[in-house]
Amino acid sequence: MNNRVAIIGVGWAGFRPVTPEESYKELMYAAAARAYADAGVDPRRDVDGFVTVAEDFHEGTSIFDEYVPDQLGAAQRPVHTITGDGLHGLAAAVMQILTARFRVVVVEGHSKASNILTLPDITAYALDPILNRPLGVHPIAIAGLEAHAYLHETGTTREQCAGVVVKNRRNALKNPAAAYGAAISSQDVLAADIVASPLSRLEVSDHADGAIVLVLAEAGTARLSGHPVWVRGIGWATDSPSLESRDWTRAVYAERAASMAYTMAGIKDPGTEIHFAEVDDTYAYKELQHLEAVGLCGRGQAGRLMADGVIGPDGRLPINVSGGSLGVGHLLEATGLAKVLEVVLQLRGQAGSRQLRGVSTGLAQSWRGVPTTSGAATVLSA
């Protein structure tokens, strides 16, 4: 699918642990205004469709679709809201453009996590209501169980997982938009309180507020823009969410999603054709598990790559140079769009002091979080 759909504009507002002076609508408006200016489009004249990703229970309103158009300049236009991650929204926008009925489509995702007083309870509400929810398990325990299974099966160590936290929090120091940049040690991570064995508090990403808007266009329009970043492939998949029958050691959804994206992009050997990646790191072990799932290294090898510095900002395969969710902050449904945003900035050469050299193809991968087995991936090239 090369050179058919491109990202021609990006805008963001945030990212901060709390944003008491701005509503989610104001964050969306700020991100959209910047994305439209970046792309050189007028939403009322040039944009043919709008896609938002949002979860009713995170927003505090039923049928959140109705609360989307005004602040995006999308009133009286085709608007489409998806209860999925930002990359699911990106996939929908790409498909709309491929119908040839839409020339320019906007994707929006946001987080006002600081408004949510009962996030773990809402997440627990995602558990199967008949078989699993009555167990009264805190949802983060599912991540702990999975981490144990992954570490046991692959021989990955807790120290290697702690290294992911150290790397991403340090990477975030070079990202002005990141909320949680910090210089900490592996010892700090390992010594922190355990929240769900084996995960310490520092291995769990904290939430941040913010909004991200992307402007996509078909090839003709994209070529007239300043710096198109081409969506070469995109894929998504959901495994069975059943706690009883899922594979607790592998991220099958990420394997499937990446495989679909690679096929579309014509990527045969991701290890050499992908120069850097932003992968889901909601929990530290997830970065390593996802790295293996998307085929950037062999099974059980990611921990060693971490320890050897290969996935550091100066390594052969930089991962989460933005700081990832551990360093930027977890942005609820906008998390996948934060991954895309970093890949776009890197490919444009606009990543400031964290700019990678000689990169022309990157991967963004996302996960829906516990208790889901849903994820998506996209391959982008300058």
Partner 1 sequence: MSMRRVAVVGAGMTRFVRRALETPKELSWQAARMALDSCGLTLNDVGGVCIGSAPDAFDGVK
Q: How far is the CB of 267 from partner 1 (least distance, A)?
A: 19
62 versus 76: smaller Cβ distance to partner 1: 62
What's the farthest any 2 CA atoms get from each other in the chain? 56
On the CB side of 370, CA atoms within 13 Å amount to 27
What is the closest distance, in whole angstroms, from the C-beta atom of residue 3 to partner 1 in the complex?
Answer: 13
3-state secondary structure 317-345: CCECCCCHHHHHCECHHHHHHHHHHHHHH
245 binds partner 1 (CB under 8 A): no
CB of 122 to partner 1, least distance (A): 6
Q: Is 48 in the site for partner 1 (CB under 8 A)?
A: no
Query: Is residue 376 within 8 Å of 336, Cβ to Cβ?
Result: yes
Evaluate whether 328 touches 172 at the Cβ level (below 8 Å).
yes
The least CB distance from residue 108 to partner 1, in Å, is: 18
- x/- contact string, 59-78, with partner 1 (CB under 8 A)? ---xxxx-------------
Per CB under 8 A, the segment of 13-21, 24-32, 42-50, 94-102 that binds partner 1 is 94-102
Binding mask 107-136 for partner 1 (x = CB under 8 A): ---------------xx-xxxxxx------
Contact letters for partner 1, residues 196-235 (x by CB under 8 A): ----------------------x-----------------
- In the chain, the amino acid numbered 86 is G
The number of beta carbons lying within 10 Å of the beta carbon of residue 102 is: 18
Backbone φ, ψ for residue 279 (5° rounding): -115, 160
Q: Which residues of 304-340 are buried (b: 16+ CB within 10 A; e: fewer)?
A: bbbeeebbbbebebbbbbbbbbbbbbbbbbbbbbbbb
User: Is residue 83 at the binding interface for partner 1, with CB under 8 A as the rule?
Assistant: yes
* Residue among 26, 48, 55, 159 that touches partner 1 (CB under 8 A): 55
Stretch that binds partner 1, among 97-105, 189-197, 337-345, 350-358 (CB under 8 A): 97-105
CB 107, min distance to partner 1, A: 18
Based on CB atoms, which residue is closest to partner 1, 62 or 272? 62
> Are 210 and 13 a contacting pair, CB within 8 Å?
yes
Strands of the chain, DSSP E: 5-16, 49-53, 79-82, 104-112, 194-196, 199-200, 209-218, 229-238, 276-278, 361-367, 374-381
CB of 356 to partner 1, least distance (A): 34
Using DSSP bridges, classify how beta strands 276-278 and 361-367 pair: parallel, antiparallel or unpaired.
parallel
Q: Which of 18, 23, 101, 118 binds partner 1 (CB under 8 A)?
A: 101
Residues near partner 1 (CB under 8 A) are 55-57, 62-65, 83, 99-101, 122-123, 125-130, 218
